[in-house]
């Protein structure tokens, strides 16, 4: 890839997390950009991600790290001063947490984004701003006709969910992310800030410390490798499209490179129908890849959960020629390889986990 010789100073909010650290690695390896990581270091694994970034940056002087929170307006004001581009990945990411603590969800996702936008507006310059949102802004998608097979639910007539789908928030998380993206979109118009909103589906790949509420592909794989059961809410035939984080990075680069065309736009970004997979299908793929059994217990379906979601990314493909290249199987292989190289980061699970779930029931054959 041709290196960009123009001065670039990239501020990555949430830059020590899964997507942020992958993007920082991408920029360190493929550009001459100076990287400023802004993160409160609250998530599992972020310190390891920072160590990896520091190793990659070496003695280049291209990496700066600020430990800060999006709720700290003074620190944000200082952080944005010299940025030529800003990537906002910091968020409260779990629907369940948003229900248990709506105030935290609001303060981080909506108020935190507003704080960043105000810092940019007051800075007196107009850096490119990319904001990552979620498919949860489309709600339950109950108006779509589904068909069901032995292993999955599917859309009957849809090629995927496009940006034309009406917004329909079904959780505090959906509300906070949806309201935040509308603020970003409106600031782009009102204050002429070149901004893009990306509504992401399921992103998976290396540097991901998945858990039950976020990063479920990695969570299922790690659980199988550690002989720990997972919890299935519903019948296991729920479908999501999986996008490898490497493909997402290419998408970000395409969006930035074609900014005159993409500025002010909202894009759905995901693996699409070809990379859609149900929970049951993913578990079968994991067992084939690793030889490890995926044990699970069932729980009642969670309110607001989408039975089927896969992305219609045709708008982004039309504007940038981007499209996913890595399959679900290829994504699993990348995560598996990263896990093998970093097994020390994953201590063996305790059996207390099983007791917290209640009495474990053996998996029944279909």
Spell out the domain ranges in the chain: 91-357
Q: 91-357 architecture in CATH? A: 3-Layer(aba) Sandwich (3.40)
Q: What is the pLDDT of residue 118?
A: 97
Active-site annotation, residues = 173
Dihedral sign from CA coordinates of 141, 161, 237, 303: negative
Question: Alpha carbon of 188 to those of 46, 80, 120, 126, 132: distances in Å?
Answer: 30, 16, 11, 10, 15
Q: Whats the size of the chain, residue-wise?
A: 366
Is the distance from CB of 131 to CB of 267 less than 8 angstroms?
Answer: no
Instruction: Name the pTM for this structure.
Output: 0.91
Distance in angstroms (rounded) separating the CA atoms of residues 21 and 14? 8
Summarised one tens digit per residue, pLDDT across range 37-95 is 999 998 888 999 999 999 999 999 999 999 999 999 999 999 999 999 999 999 998 88
Give the pLDDT confidence score for residue 366 in this predicted structure.
25
What would the two tokens of residue 200 be?
Answer: 């992401």
Within a 10 A sphere around the Cβ of 94, how many other Cβ atoms? Answer: 17
In this structure, the number of other CB atoms found within 10 A of the CB of residue 225 comes to: 18
User: How far is Cα 104 from Cα 40, in angstroms, rounded to an integer?
Assistant: 14
Residue 236, CB half-sphere, CA atoms under 13 Å: how many?
Answer: 20
Q: Which residue has the higher pLDDT, 236 or 3?
A: 236
Q: How far apart are CA 38 and CA 86, in angstroms?
A: 10
Residues 111-154 have pLDDT tens digits of: 999 999 999 999 989 999 999 999 999 998 988 999 999 999 99
pLDDT digit string (tens) for 321-355?
999 999 999 999 999 999 999 998 887 655 434 43
Tens digits of residue pLDDT in 167-211: 999 899 999 999 999 999 999 999 999 999 999 999 999 999 987
Mean pLDDT of 262-272: 96
pLDDT given at position 170? 87
pLDDT at 359: 39
Using the predicted structure, report yes or no on whether residue 164 has a pLDDT greater than 90.
yes
* pLDDT at residue 363, as a whole number: 32
Tell me what percent of the residues of the chain surpass a pLDDT of 70: 93
């Amino acid at each position: 890839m041709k290196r960009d010789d123009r001065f670039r100073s990239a501020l990555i909010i949430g830059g020590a997390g899964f997507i942020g650290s992958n993007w920082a690695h991408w920029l360190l390896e493929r550009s001459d950009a100076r990287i400023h990581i802004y993160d409160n270091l609250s998530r599992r694994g972020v310190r390891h991600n920072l160590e990896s970034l520091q190793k990659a940056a070496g003695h280049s002087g291209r990496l700066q790290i600020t430990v800060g929170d999006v709720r700290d307006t003074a620190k944000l004001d200082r952080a944005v001063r010299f940025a030529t581009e800003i990537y906002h990945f910091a968020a409260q990411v779990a629907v369940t947490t948003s229900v248990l603590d709506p105030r935290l969800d609001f303060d981080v996702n909506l108020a935190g984004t507003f704080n960043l936008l105000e810092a940019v507006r007051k800075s007196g310059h107009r850096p490119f701003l990319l904001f990552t949102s979620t498919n949860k802004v489309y709600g339950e998608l109950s108006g779509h006709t589904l068909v069901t097979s032995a292993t999955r639910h599917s859309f009957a007539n849809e090629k995927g969910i496009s940006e034309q789908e009406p917004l329909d928030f079904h959780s505090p998380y959906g509300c906070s992310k949806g309201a935040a993206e509308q603020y970003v979109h409106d600031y782009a118009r009102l204050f002429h800030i070149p901004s893009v909103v990306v509504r992401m589906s399921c992103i998976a790949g290396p540097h991901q410390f998945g858990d039950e509420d976020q990063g479920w592909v990695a969570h299922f794989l790690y659980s199988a490798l550690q002989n720990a059961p997972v919890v299935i809410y519903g019948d296991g035939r729920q479908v999501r499209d999986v996008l490898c984080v490497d493909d997402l990075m290419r998408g970000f680069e395409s969006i930035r490179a074609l900014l005159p065309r993409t500025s002010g736009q909202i894009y759905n970004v995901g693996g699409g129908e070809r990379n859609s997979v149900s929970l049951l299908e993913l578990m079968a793929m994991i067992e084939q890849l690793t030889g490890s059994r995926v044990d699970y217990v069932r729980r009642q379906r969670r309110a607001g959960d989408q039975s089927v979601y896969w992305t219609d990314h045709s708008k982004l493909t039309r504007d940038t020629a981007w499209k996913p290249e890595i399959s679900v199987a290829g994504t699993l292989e990348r995560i598996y390889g990263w896990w093998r190289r970093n097994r020390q980061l994953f201590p063996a699970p305790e059996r207390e986990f099983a007791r917290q779930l209640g009495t474990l029931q053996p998996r029944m054959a279909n």
